[in-house]
């Protein structure tokens, strides 16, 4: 199966690209996703080796801060079972978990590509993160979009 690409949003106050860089083995679980479509992307479509655009959201300067790679298959998100967690789901049980996460590993930290710069690149016009009303925390990215960001905007090989 061909490598796929994803844009995954994280609030820097929750997990930033710098937090990922300082995590053990530069790897973190992508926890706390509570949207069924985003969950289904992780559960049904993500594979080990897929590329990730690490996107900082809900912050003064949102944008793509670097790249990561999916390094695990989907598995139950432990935060859904923790009553002290903001991601607790009382309807989820260990026997029938509703939510999953995957582990992601840092590949590169890059200069931040903000929304204005993304919008200014015609080859990215169809990117889901740029579409009006899109609030998904995980969206597919085409190979062409991945290469445009890496090669044209960051000036490095994809």
CATH at residue 101: 3.10.590.10
Q: Is the pLDDT of residue 2 over 90?
A: no
pLDDT at site 71: 98
Residue 158 lies in a domain: no
pLDDT at 121 over 90: yes
Where in the sequence is the domain holding 122, given as residue range(s)? 5-153
- Residue 32: inside a domain, yes or no? yes
- Under the banding of pLDDT at 50, 70 and 90, the label for residue 154 is confident
Residue 70 is predicted with a pLDDT of 98
Q: Exposed, middle or buried, 68 (CB in 10 Å: 0-12/13-18/19+)?
A: buried
Total domain count for the chain? 1
């Amino acid at each position: 199966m061909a490598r796929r690409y994803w844009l995954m949003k994280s609030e820097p106050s929750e997990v930033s690209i710098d937090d990922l860089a300082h995590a053990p083995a530069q790897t973190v679980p992508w926890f706390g996703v509570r949207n069924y479509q985003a969950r289904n992307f992780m559960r049904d479509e993500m594979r080990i080796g897929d590329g990730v655009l690490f996107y900082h959201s809900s912050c003064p300067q949102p944008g793509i801060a670097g790249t990561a790679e999916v390094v695990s298959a989907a598995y139950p998100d432990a935060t859904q079972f923790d009553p002290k967690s903001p991601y607790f789901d009382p309807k989820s049980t260990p026997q029938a978990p509703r939510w999953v996460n995957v582990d992601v590993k840092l590949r590169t930290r890059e200069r931040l590509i903000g929304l204005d710069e993304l919008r200014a690149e015609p080859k990215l016009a169809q990117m889901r993160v740029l579409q009006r009303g899109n609030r998904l925390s995980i969206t597919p990215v085409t190979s062409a979009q991945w290469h445009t960001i890496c090669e044209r905007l960051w000036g490095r090989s994809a």
